[in-house]
Structure 1
């Protein structure tokens, strides 16, 4: 959240180990969303309603001045219940101390609503209805139906469950870390969570426990009936299924940044290493670079882009002139610290008739696995090789491949980790999605933020994002190399290639 000129990040943390357990709310602050300073824990187990863990939740700024936290506590019976906390001293911009409500828990599962006490968690930020009452949703399930349970309150303390959920969907399983917020129809500017008028659409995002990915729907919020009506449901097998990120990315949360009038998205990225390796290195789990998020002008999907503040870390710009990248060509990008870099590249495709014909619809992630960066076709693969070792025993490839499907051009966007490390104990899943870009009239752009074990890639100016965790054994620190490549049989043109070395952000006080 943003409060009195500071950004506050609360996150699930185990103070006693590198892997999950003993969960508390850790707390860090920042002036720019990039450099962070840790504070003492904000919330830790101390009441019967949270004695077995303080799990995920959300902050809400009440009346524009007073922050409040709703969070899931694991009580003395190991039931999931919702608790309230508020700052001890509002004049302290760091909000170091938090007081728990004496009325905790303020929401709990009941036999009446048939909610399992182990499937009732992660309350959202609150929003105000036109009646002046607060609303929040809590993630849940009934059998295999995912549910966003709606609660209302006059005072943010006493909550009453609505007769009907905000939205539910059969066959989707447990909904974790739900998020619900408005986006403007025709602007990238963010708006307050309570806004609802003819100029906005609404986004419902849920983290599907069964799939371990974050999915979202775009639709309309009827504040008279208190329900959400999506344009397309989760059951829809659309060619372009809506996910925030098609790689390792989960349990995300947005907030309205009133300092710069934008909506900011933060996500958690877990490890690809083994638990034993995590314990050995002493930590696990990272947050992505914060992203601005808004509705694409088509109204059919969201767009994400790293916050502009990350560009403060850029140094030593390398610009390459426009160049035709011939089929089979590998172009090394020198002068950049390849293990910690920001790379923007734009491709132009002219010989669209050379695209490979795709006869049958195939899941894009499977297609990326079957047709990795070493499998040639007419147009592609072309893109970047990151964390590449000398001799290319190790590399991670982020690339495009163009198909012809049902008389239309179809762009596949992949992040291939299959050769990312000689350590075969790592998860080296290949990720991918189709991306909605008109390659005849538009350039095909790629931006990758590279940082030692993470590659955050943004295709088509943020229309599709893929985050990967990789652990090379050879391509580390100054041994890492960076390339642009074209392994297709047809030439493509690099219109622009700009790359920067990146300074280290201040994290955890270092």
Structure 2
């Protein structure tokens, strides 16, 4: 099983998730658009694939894209097809039976397909991943990721009738030296409340987020800025880092994410792909390659300078036995066990209290990549307790946090080979794949530890 890249949507109260999937093996190939449905974003039923190569405009590949539910209630899938000549073109598919709530069958109309092809300006071998459509000034809009040399590009296409699409005079946004952009995603966020917004929302209390996946680095980054529909352009806010070192929805194994607006709970939900970079031989041994982490809500932080990312509250239904711990001193190098649960599957929330900051190391402005810093400062393990021949890099993310109360919070979701950690209420998070050889199933335990130079207090832990 090979799984990656998502296209979520909500249709008539049900959640639909489309994703790139190889039903024949755990390596890339034989890719179809798999389709699963849910009533709660937690429990899923797999249906038959929605799209697979079958037409001249996608006979060599049905690649990533998005799903749009238009105001008339009709859903449309926009996706990248690889045609018989190997060129990447943008296509669409519609339900065969709109009265079927589960939307089991999809068709690709002959009329209007392919709907967008590369012109002389566009690199037809790097032109993919159309976004969910949004409306502005009487036009429907989609973005398609690409590159011009080493410049990352989000091309903008507009349509009055949702059938004929025209490229704008210039891209919505482009950034030199970022390489090919994949899975671009633009969405609005409110500056006045915590609820999510529909893709087409505009107004004075609205900012926009542009998130792109960088093929060169296999990481994403996003900026917060202003979308100018009259000018067909997006401008990041002053101070936003628009490039490799920019803000990330996740600083770990997280790529090709896609968001959608949930009209049931009025929230913006983002889904990413916890990718892996092991050899084909290792993926075959494991039997899978790539999974989808827990869906997350995203909203604008009160500072207006970054997003807050947090697991959806629907996962509360999965919780069982609860244990708590309070006021435990954490001496350097002396872990404290959190008893009553295993580390095989757990949701752990902790608050650390720092007695003083007098000996805290000042932040060095030369620190650009938190991963490099983690490698330099990491504690060396004396024993090998994880598989030695799989991809296991170290991840880290900087977080801008107010320490006036001298407290830090951390939440970690652990599910066998996946660890998702959220710090400071979602100001930074990191997803990692782990393959332990000793701490497995009931032998996996949970510890709080302190690798710093001064004692701290575990003020409260709930698991």
Q: TM-score range by the shorter chain?
A: over 0.9
| Matched residue, 1:87 | 95
Q: CA deviation at 1:199?
A: 0.9
Bigger shift: 276-285 or 192-201?
A: 276-285
Q: 2:181 aligned with 1:175, yes or no?
A: yes
Tell me if the contact between 2:224 and 2:240 (Cα under 8 Å) persists in the aligned partners.
no
| Matched residue, 2:314 | 309
| Matched residue, 1:225 | 231
Q: CA deviation at 1:357?
A: 4.4
CA–CA distance in 2 between the matches of 1:237 and 1:99? 38
Tell me if the contact between 2:282 and 2:390 (Cα under 8 Å) persists in the aligned partners.
no
- Residue of structure 1 aligned with 2:275, choices 249, 257, 270: 270
Distance of aligned partners of 1:237 and 1:115 in 2 relative to their CA distance in 1, 3 Å threshold: closer
| Matched residue, 2:44 | 36
CA–CA distance in 2 between the matches of 1:498 and 1:227? 46
| Matched residue, 2:326 | 321
CA–CA distance in 1 between the matches of 2:96 and 2:320? 42
Give the match's secondary structure for 1:354: coil
Q: CA deviation at 1:146?
A: 0.8
- Give the TM-score normalised by the residue count of structure 1: 0.86
| Matched residue, 1:433 | 397
Q: Give the alignment's Cα RMSD to 1 decimal.
A: 1.7
Distance of aligned partners of 1:64 and 1:349 in 2 relative to their CA distance in 1, 3 Å threshold: farther
CA–CA distance in 2 between the matches of 1:124 and 1:373? 42
Matches within 5 A, 1:375-454: 393=383, 421=386, 423-441=387-405, 443-454=407-418
CA–CA distance in 2 between the matches of 1:496 and 1:373? 25
Distance of aligned partners of 1:138 and 1:372 in 2 relative to their CA distance in 1, 3 Å threshold: same
| Matched residue, 2:5 | none
Q: CA deviation at 1:442?
A: 5.3
Tell me if the contact between 2:339 and 2:446 (Cα under 8 Å) persists in the aligned partners.
yes
Q: CA deviation at 1:304?
A: 0.6
- Residue of structure 1 aligned with 2:69, choices 54, 61, 69: 61
- Residue of structure 1 aligned with 2:165, choices 151, 159, 164: 159
| Matched residue, 1:498 | 462
- Residue of structure 1 aligned with 2:451, choices 487, 495, 500: 487
| Matched residue, 1:193 | 199
Tell me if the contact between 2:182 and 2:214 (Cα under 8 Å) persists in the aligned partners.
yes
- Residue of structure 1 aligned with 2:260, choices 255, 266, 271: 255
| Matched residue, 1:24 | 32
CA–CA distance in 1 between the matches of 2:116 and 2:208? 25
CA–CA distance in 1 between the matches of 2:364 and 2:241? 24
Q: CA deviation at 1:427?
A: 1.6
Q: CA deviation at 1:154?
A: 1.2
Give the match's secondary structure for 1:254: strand
Tell me if the contact between 2:221 and 2:243 (Cα under 8 Å) persists in the aligned partners.
no
Deviations along 1:340-364, whole A, 9 cap, x unmatched? 0000001111220021345662232
CA–CA distance in 1 between the matches of 2:11 and 2:364? 53
Tell me if the contact between 2:144 and 2:155 (Cα under 8 Å) persists in the aligned partners.
yes
Tell me if the contact between 1:346 and 1:446 (Cα under 8 Å) persists in the aligned partners.
yes
Give the match's secondary structure for 2:396: strand
Q: 2:132 aligned with 1:125, yes or no?
A: yes
Matches within 5 A, 1:104-143: 104-111=113-120, 114-130=121-137, 132-143=138-149
| Matched residue, 2:350 | 345
Tell me if the contact between 1:153 and 1:159 (Cα under 8 Å) persists in the aligned partners.
yes
| Matched residue, 2:59 | 51
Give the match's secondary structure for 1:157: coil
Distance of aligned partners of 1:329 and 1:440 in 2 relative to their CA distance in 1, 3 Å threshold: farther
Tell me if the contact between 1:453 and 1:469 (Cα under 8 Å) persists in the aligned partners.
yes
CA–CA distance in 2 between the matches of 1:89 and 1:236? 43
Task: Tell me the number of residue pairs that the alignment of Structure 1 and Structure 2 aligns.
Answer: 453
Distance of aligned partners of 1:356 and 1:237 in 2 relative to their CA distance in 1, 3 Å threshold: farther
CA–CA distance in 2 between the matches of 1:442 and 1:134? 48
| Matched residue, 1:216 | 222
- Give the TM-score normalised by the residue count of structure 2: 0.94
Give the match's secondary structure for 1:315: coil
Unaligned runs of 5+ in 2: 1-8
CA–CA distance in 2 between the matches of 1:68 and 1:360? 46
Deviations along 1:142-198, whole A, 9 cap, x unmatched? 111111101011121111111111111111110000001100012220011001110
Q: CA deviation at 1:30?
A: 0.7
Unaligned runs of 5+ in 1: 376-391, 395-419, 500-510
Give the match's secondary structure for 2:358: helix
Q: CA deviation at 1:495?
A: 1.6
